[in-house]
Structure 1
Amino acid sequence: MRASATGRTLRDPRGGSFWFDAGAVCLDFAHTGGEGRYAVFESLHKPVDLGEWLARPPLAAAVTVPVTARELTAAKALRRAIWEAAHARAAGRPLPAEAIAAINRAAAAPPLVPELAADGATAGWAAPVRVKHALSTLARETIELLSGPLAERIRVCASDDCPLVFVDSSRPGARRWCSMERCGNRNKLRALRARRSANP
């Protein structure tokens, strides 16, 4: 990846937004929407939405060829595979064979190629920058994450109604919440109310 910083602002369909750092760009990508009950969180409605997401830091891969509907479909297939694989790893279950196959397919394409700028101090991606290159880069990061030392640090938010998954990079490995701003604070309020009702 071009930069180590991760995290995005996620919007709640019920209103409001919060900062969520999944700890890996591939997991940030996994949280761009979904199917079924997660369809309300969809942010990649059109091909241009995918292009805009890829162009934002930390990936900062501004595609040099317009994104097609077929590429958007491929991106959503990879997103689903990353989501399913990460949740399986967090739960200690075997990874779904279909997810593994989808991640490997995406990773087989050429990845983004880093290129040093003329100033010798900054970097970008060598042209042409295509969606398949960006997806390959995300898939390869997923493979490194799932097979590397941080695989045991993949967690699902401890809130009963929050499915967000992240890499716990805290030194003690004690991160429980997707975000203290969201689920962490909600849990504190619930605990406070429970104590008050138990001790009127």
Structure 2
Amino acid sequence: MDTPTSHPASFVFPGSLSLELMLTGGPGPYERYEIAHTPSGLAEWFTGSRLALTAPLTDVRIRPAELAAIKELRDTFYRVAPALARGEAPSDDDLALLNSATAATPRPLADPKTRKLAWAPPVTGKQLLGAVARDAIGLVAGERSGRVRECSADDCYLLFFDTSRSGNRRWYSMERCGNRAKIRAYRAHRNRLIARIPGDAR
């Protein structure tokens, strides 16, 4: 996957927790986008992640070793996700790492006061690692496989999970990438028409 041209954390959710985690940084050229420098920094990010859309994350506790494990899983997905987008099989080693990380996940429960869905506190780094790994496995195998896409915009190389009914979504963000591509196409079409007009008729 090529280097993005702007900070990925400013974009909309890509439809998957594991893909969303890739917006926090990554290996090589993606290190400049790193926001998970500390356990508390990553914990704060998770409170605004897709996981928190299901139920609020109010007590997240990540240990240094868990931070390292989550970042290793994220960096592995930088190899897995592009392979999925190209219709290729991830390596056995990368799949083994995903499979080994699924032991624990956040525990849902019904809040006794509100009867609303909540996560059993505290939510640990090991549980978050498992949630990300299980989401990633869902993109590799099962009903959600075959839906990882790379944005079609020339200046955007971000990956997303295609949630469209037809399965032919092209843009990471229609508002950002799709509209800009349509504007460029319109301008190119207009310039071609202008170029066909004789000079004395302009």
Coarse TM-score class (shorter-chain normalised): 0.7 to 0.9
Which residue number in structure 2 is paired with residue 128 of structure 1? 122
The answer on 1:116 being equivalent to 2:110 is: yes
CA, structure 1 residues 64+152, in 2 after alignment: closer, same or farther (shift >3 Å)?
Answer: closer
In the alignment, the residues of structure 1 paired with residue 141 and residue 6 of structure 2 have an alpha-carbon distance, to the nearest angstrom, of 31
Shift of 1:130: 0.9
**TM-score under structure 1 length normalisation:** 0.82
CA offset at residue 124 of structure 1?
A: 1.5
Q: Which structure's CA Rg is the greater one?
A: 2
- Do the aligned partners of residues 97 and 139 (structure 1) sit closer, same or farther apart at CA in structure 2, a change above 3 Å counting? same
Residue 105 in structure 1 maps to residue 132 in structure 2: no
Q: Which structure 2 segments of 5+ residues have no match?
A: 195-202
1:29 corresponds to 2:24: no
- Tell me the distance in 1 between the aligned counterparts of 2:15 and 2:109: 24
Match of 1:183 among 159, 177, 181: 177
Specify the alignment match of 2:199 in structure 1.
Answer: none
Runs (5+) with no aligned partner, structure 1: 1-10
**TM-score computed with the length of structure 2 as normaliser:** 0.81
Equivalent residue for 2:63, pick from 61, 68, 72: 68
Residues 77-109 of structure 1 show CA distances to partners (whole Å, capped at 9, x for unaligned) of 1112223212111101120233212211211x3
User: Are the aligned partners of 1:89 and 1:146 in contact in 2 as well (CA < 8 Å)?
Assistant: yes
Q: Does the CA-based 8 Å contact 2:149-2:159 persist in structure 1?
A: yes
SS of residue matched to 1:163: coil
Give distance in 2, aligned partners of 1:166 and 1:129.
26
Q: Is the 8 A contact 1:90 1:156 kept in 2?
A: yes
| 17 and 80 in structure 1: CA distance in 2 versus 1, 3 angstrom threshold | closer
- Determine if the alignment matches structure 1 residue 48 to structure 2 residue 43: no
> What CA distance in whole angstroms lies between the structure 1 residues aligned with 2:90 and 2:18?
16
Separation (CA, whole Å) in 1 of partners of 2:30 and 2:170: 21
Q: Is the CA contact 1:63–1:131 (under 8 Å) kept in the aligned structure 2?
A: no
Residue 152 of structure 1 is matched in structure 2 by 146
Aligned-partner residue type, residue 65 of structure 2 = R
Letter of the structure 2 residue corresponding to residue 35 of structure 1: P
The root-mean-square deviation of aligned C-alpha atoms, in Å, is 2.3
Indicate which of 182, 186, 198 corresponds to 1:192: 186
Alignment: residue pair count:
186
Q: Percent identity?
A: 38
